Structure 1
Amino acid sequence: MATVIIYTTAWCPYCIRAKQLLDNKQVEYTEINVSESDTRAKMVSLTGGRTVPQILINGQPTGGCDELFALDRSGKLDKLFAK
């Protein structure tokens, strides 16, 4: 099973949509709220992205909500989860 980390904030509608997609696919993930202390700086250093959500699958940055849905539409997302 893939390791999935999603950096979020509580009020972000894109974060909610991304988590709903992951939940619908029954993918377990670790959610990290970037509103706390220095977690946003860590997110930026790991992903290069400054906005939320930022999603890592098996340690590889995959982008945000739009990129996650694009991977799903292309059929590539399930392949990433299978690794």
Structure 2
Amino acid sequence: MVIEILSCIVETTNFEVITYEALRGKSGEVKASEKELLKRGITKEYIEDFIDDVEHAEGAICGEIKRLNAYLEILDIIGL
């Protein structure tokens, strides 16, 4: 089985490789952490994009530094 590595999020603060498969099913954790994410300055748009991207194993994870930073913050909040 081939597992696709997210386009830009290839390492977190502890240098783990993150795959779509590892994120599958994490949308519930992200939704549960939405208030904390909003407090940290992550926009609702990025939260919803992240949830959609990981649940459908597609999407433009890169594109802009704000999106990448938001996604890294979300990964931190959900413990990845």
TM-score (norm 1): 0.31
Q: Which has the higher helix share?
A: 2
Q: Which has the higher strand share?
A: 1
TM-score (norm 2): 0.32
